[in-house]
Amino acid sequence: MAITFSDLHTESGLKSLNDFLTGKSYISGDKLTKDDIKVYAAVLENPGDSFPNVSQWYNCVSSHLAASFPGKAVGVSLGGKADPAQSAEAKSPAADDDDDDLDLFGDETEEDKKAAEEREAAKKSAKKKESGKSSVLMDVKPWDDETDMKKLEEAVRSVEMPGLLWGASKLVAVGYGIKKLQIMLTIVDDLVSVDTLIEEHLTVEPRNEYIQSCDIVAFNKI
């Protein structure tokens, strides 16, 4: 049965998507599909901490896309048409042709002005939240094939600090029965250093009982 999402440019739409992604890594199943790409295209930008499930999923899809398109992007911005309701209002003929009664500003009320100001403030707030963040894909390697990978992941996720959010993870076969943990994380650049995270938290006691080393696979600014 097809899944329907609407108004993903609004908070209500993002909330619906955030609720749907609770406990899920992807839109359909346990792998990236065309469904993820369709929904990803409809989400204007990473919503940040306001919708953590969407933010984690968005970073995961971004990482997959970055790996599929290794060329260096210069960055683009997309413009949009005016809201359909506003366009219709602007094009509607005046009810009265008398110049003395002509209202160049339409029937905008104080509530309309307040709503417009709130939307503008929300946009600025969203941009501020997203500044200075990075999405990281990390490989965490065990000592050998006898290492308990469940405890290894628990040790990794036990690291907590301001500006650090752990995301989706999976085990990847390395060879000779050994698997490594591949995990996504989002960091606030001003608060978290990946080098410090690895050298002072992940590869020291007591976590180094399970963790041999960590490597950065992908590092993308959000």
3-state helix, strand, coil in the chain (%, to 5): 40, 20, 40
Per mean pLDDT, which range of 9-18, 44-53, 58-67, 78-87 is the poorest? Answer: 78-87
Say whether both 217 and 141 belong to one domain.
Answer: yes
Q: How far apart are CA 83 and CA 72, in angstroms?
A: 33
Domain that holds residue 203: 133-221
In this predicted model, which residue has the larger pLDDT, 38 or 150? 150
How high is the pLDDT of residue 199? 95
Q: What percent of the chain has pLDDT over 70?
A: 78
Q: Is residue 75 part of a domain?
A: no
Say whether both 216 and 138 belong to one domain.
Answer: yes
Q: Is residue 43 part of a domain?
A: yes
How many domains does one find in the chain? Answer: 2
pLDDT tens by residue, 168-212 = 999 999 999 999 999 999 999 999 999 999 999 999 999 999 999
Say whether both 137 and 216 belong to one domain.
Answer: yes
Q: Is residue 111 part of a domain?
A: no
What DSSP character marks residue 9? T
Q: Is residue 124 part of a domain?
A: no
Q: Report the 10 Å Cβ neighbour count for 69.
A: 9
Q: In the listed set 68, 86, 114, which residue is the last one of a domain according to the structure?
A: 68
Q: How far apart are CA 56 and CA 46, in angstroms?
A: 9
Per-residue pLDDT band at 87 (split at 50, 70, 90) = very low
pLDDT tens by residue, 59-84 = 998 888 877 776 666 655 555 554 44
In this predicted model, which residue has the larger pLDDT, 167 or 103? 167
